[in-house]
Structure 1
């Protein structure tokens, strides 16, 4: 009788443990964001982006550039802060471009380098959020 009772108790404990493990796995899988949820939609990107209109400035040398940007921030508060800091962002762009030669801005690598440098410099100023990406929307190099 005791062996039969111990076997029944052991089976019940194993079943309860198994149900608990399955419940934990299901809850953790459901709470993880999927890759589709993690990526913002284009509407969300536009709502959190700030346009920096065309800037014309001299480069290091005799060349000059006309360039404009769209800056994507992580949220609405960051966008509002970036809009207030517009003059500081333009200053960062002009000072960074004044240190670059025309050869550094030609090609994909040069433009990506500029975008990353601007993003890093802008994030140094940001307090309410951060800049996610800097897009070059037009560029004329002469």
Structure 2
């Protein structure tokens, strides 16, 4: 290329270093991209951080019986593990909340939403490693 051998070696080294730098930058932006903390979790993450209660049957204040089941989503793996250990306390909270309700409280989505929020609040009061993000009522049968 050039008649001076030293210039040729210097150009080859500079081009090589530039290519390595560009490749390192591309790899860094692809693999070490910071996750957006405000982004919604994927469904796989939601399932991984959730537990499902057993079916709970209890009396309502209006002398009706309800069978219900809940899915409780936590914010991290430690909170999920703690929630699994506190299963008996969670079921107790759910039974207490349901026993204070009437059949008419389940007639609309507002009543169910209020129940889910109250259960979430009560469970967060006993949690130490993280907190409950969402409570979903997955089964509800009032008789």
TM-score, normalised via structure 1 length: 0.74
Question: CA 1:75/1:32 → structure 2, altered by over 3 Å: closer, same or farther?
Answer: closer
Query: 4+ residue runs of structure 1 moved beyond 6 angstroms?
Result: none
Q: How far, CA to CA, are the matches of 1:40 and 1:106 in structure 2?
A: 30
Q: Could you tell me which residue of structure 2 aligns to residue 127 of structure 1?
A: 128
Give the TM-score normalised by structure 2.
0.74
In structure 2, runs of 5+ residues without a counterpart are 1-32
Unaligned runs of 5+ in 1: 1-29
Q: Deviations over 1:69-122 (max 9, x none)?
A: 000000100000000000000000001111111101221011000000000000
* SS across alignment from 2:58: strand
> Aligned residue pairs: how many?
111
- Match of 1:78? 79
Structure whose residues are more often helix by fraction: 1
How far residue 61 of structure 1 moved from its aligned partner, in angstroms, is: 2.1
How far does residue 33 in structure 1 lie from its aligned partner after superposition? 2.8
Please state whether the residue corresponding to 1:68 is helix, strand or coil: strand
- Give the Cα separation in 2 of the matches to 1:61 and 1:33: 46
For the aligned residue pairs, the C-alpha RMSD in angstroms reads: 1.7
Q: Secondary structure at the match of 2:56?
A: strand
